[in-house]
Structure 1
Amino acid sequence: MKMQFATVAISLAALTLGGCGKKVDTTSNNAAAAPMNSVNAIEPVPVAESAGQTFANAAAASDTFEIESSRLAQANSQSASVKKFAESMIKAHTASTAKLGQAAGAASPAIVPEPLLSSVQQQSLDALKRKKGADFDAAYIEAQTRGHQETLETLKAYSANGDVPSLKEFATKLVPIVTAHLNMAKGLKS
């Protein structure tokens, strides 16, 4: 009996001494437990976007710009050829958005494209909203030509050097389509 008591006493002593010198974790997952102030507040650090995310966002923004500006063309253009082109752009860029979503979703980890317009795209769209008739047609044709040229350059660059295989394949397949759109835009007359 004395032997069992000694063993238990030694075990308790070891456990007690084992806890000495250990740092106590005072952090809590409960936000209410520790009020935040300027001393202990942790600011989120911005995380750099991956090249794949950047490309997906640019492609999504391009599609959004093409669709929105083409919807304006259907309402504000006086040219039958511009309206026909705009209708084809809405269909093509809606399909492109769906394909981009599939390619981005196939990435590991999955990428979610954010279709936020660049400041240049937003300014162009805002300018188009203020125009009608022949003035609109000229501005729309210029915006479509510039936008498709920029998109083509982005697609070619990602097709050559992309880091996400599914997005790289998407870019490669889109190059001839966007080249055709660019040529069509250049051929439009206001």
Structure 2
Amino acid sequence: MKYLTVATAALALSLAACGPKTEAAADNAVDATGAAIDDLGNTASNAADAVGDALNPTPSGQTFANGAANSDAFEIAAAKLALTNAASAKVKAFASDMIKAHTASTAKIQAAAAKASPAITPDATLTGAQNDDLSDLGKLKGSDFDRAYIDGQIDAHDDALELMENFAKDGDVASLKTAAGEIAPIVKGHLDMAKALETR
């Protein structure tokens, strides 16, 4: 696109030397080329969005419910470790808040899943990666634990926020879609809290 712009500018300058009529023609050529470049850019952007949607499609109601459930289960398990292994009182207070909030989130998702037709039963089974993370966390104590726990909380809440926002926008199960919309700002608040603890 850079070469097109330079070539068009050179054409415009050479035509401009020939007189008013050719100058107008040159202006029109520049405008037409600019519009074509804009269209090409828009097409590329739309194609990139389409590829992104294809690679990260909105999950089904069951997949969303499972993801929300195992996210909550992971958060609660990690927070329980923090209550015994953390050094910082602020990290322990954050962990206590996470247990309460994610227990409430679990109940909200279960109630919304039960209202689906047919009803959905969330599966809270942790993934292999989540189990590995908990195992690694369990080996740490004090300030080392604090750093690893908060780093993990930022990553986990980033993922949970994306899950909630995407399903709230494009989900196909009304009750779960509503629940996701209600939970998303709470998750965003948790993410902000974790980031604030990381900077201390």
- Structure 1 length as normaliser, TM-score? 0.72
State the match for 2:148 in structure 1: 139
Which position in structure 1 is the counterpart of 2:60? 51
Q: What amino acid sits opposite 1:94 in the alignment? A: T
Runs (5+) with no aligned partner, structure 1 = 1-49
* Structure of higher RCO (CA pairs closer than 8 Å, 6+ residues apart): 1
State the Cα distance separating 1:119 from its structure 2 match.
2.1
TM-superposition CA deviations, 1:32-57 (whole Å, max 9, x none): xxxxxxxxxxxxxxxxxx70000000
1:62 aligns with: 71
Q: In the alignment, which residue of structure 2 is the partner of 1:82?
A: 91
1:121, CA displacement in angstroms? Answer: 1.4
Q: 1:71 aligns to what?
A: 80
**2:144 is the counterpart of 1:129:** no
Aligned to 1:22: none
Q: What's the counterpart of residue 184 of structure 2?
A: 175
Structure 1, residues 55-114: CA drift from partner, whole Å, max 9, x if none? 000000000000000000000001000000000000000011111110000000100000
SS at match of 1:87: helix
Partners of 2:130 and 2:180 in 1: CA distance: 20
Question: Distance between the aligned counterparts of 1:75 and 1:101, measured in 2?
Answer: 29
Corresponding residue for residue 113 of structure 2: 104
- Corresponding residue for 2:166? 157
Query: How much identity, in percent, do the aligned residues show?
Result: 52
**Root mean square deviation, CA, Å:** 1.1
Count of residues in correspondence between the two structures: 141
Could you report, residue by residue, the CA deviation over 1:155-184 in whole angstroms, capped at 9, with x for unpaired residues?
Answer: 111111101000000000111100000000
> Which structure 2 residue ranges, 5 or more long, are not aligned?
1-58
Q: Which has the larger radius of gyration?
A: 1
Q: Partner of 2:140: helix, strand, or coil?
A: coil
Instruction: Provide Cα deviations, 1:18-38, integer angstroms capped at 9, x if missing partner.
Output: xxxxxxxxxxxxxxxxxxxxx
Task: Return the alpha-carbon distance in structure 1 between the equivalents of residues 60 and 81 of structure 2.
Answer: 32
1:186 pairs with 2:199:
no
User: Relative to structure 2, which stretch is displaced further, 123-132 or 68-77?
Assistant: 123-132
TM-score by length of 2: 0.69
> Deviating runs (4+, > 3 A) in structure 1?
none
Higher helix share: 2
Secondary structure class of the residue paired with 2:172: coil
Of 112, 117, 132 in structure 1, the residue corresponding to residue 126 of structure 2 is: 117
Alpha-carbon shift at residue 120 of structure 1 (Å): 1.9
- SS of equivalent residue, structure 2 residue 91: helix
The whole-number CA distance in structure 2 between the counterparts of 1:158 and 1:119 is 24
Aligned to 1:39: none
CA distance in 2, matches of 1:59, 1:80: 28
Counterpart amino acid of residue 67 in structure 1: I
